[in-house]
Homo-oligomer: A and B are copies of this chain.
Amino acid sequence: MTTEAFDERDAALSELLGIRSSIDNIDAALIHLLAERFKFTQQVGRLKAQHGLPPSDPEREKRQIARLRALAEDAHLDPAFAEKWFNFVVAEVIQHHEELAGNGVAGAAAASGGGAGGAPAS
């Protein structure tokens, strides 16, 4: 490897470290936003259980997916990826609520999410 090639590789490594630092910042923001989202979906679960509101709202979920796909397109993110990501988060939230219900931890909120298919996420 020539000195020039070595320098170029060094510069690339340095650039890589910078990009990784940005990815780390973005990931931290994503985790904190997910934590906030989770708090809101727990509120939704509690509210629905307390007031006898229908646990599931498929129309709401359809609108959410359509909106997120449009936002993704505008942001140059693959809309199919955005939809898959949304479904993953919703499924995880439901599963988490079910686990809490199984452990008897979450009370009414978890009970409202159990098996209802999308309720706590909407």
For A67, list chain B residues within 8 Å (CB): 24, 27-28
Q: Knowing A16-B47, A53-B13 touch, does A34 contact B88 (C-beta < 8 A)? A: no
Chain B residues within 8 Å of A30, by CB? 30, 33-34, 37
Query: Please, how many angstroms separate the alpha-carbon atoms of A39 and B121 in the complex?
Result: 27
Q: Can you offer 26 A-B residue contacts whose CB atoms are under 8 A?
A: A8-B51, A9-B51, A12-B47, A13-B51, A16-B44, A19-B43, A23-B41, A23-B122, A26-B33, A26-B36, A27-B64, A27-B68, A29-B33, A30-B33, A31-B68, A31-B75, A31-B77, A31-B82, A33-B33, A34-B81, A34-B85, A35-B77, A39-B76, A84-B92, A85-B88, A85-B92
**A27-61 at interface with B (beta carbon < 8 Å):** 27-41, 43-44, 47-48, 50-53, 60
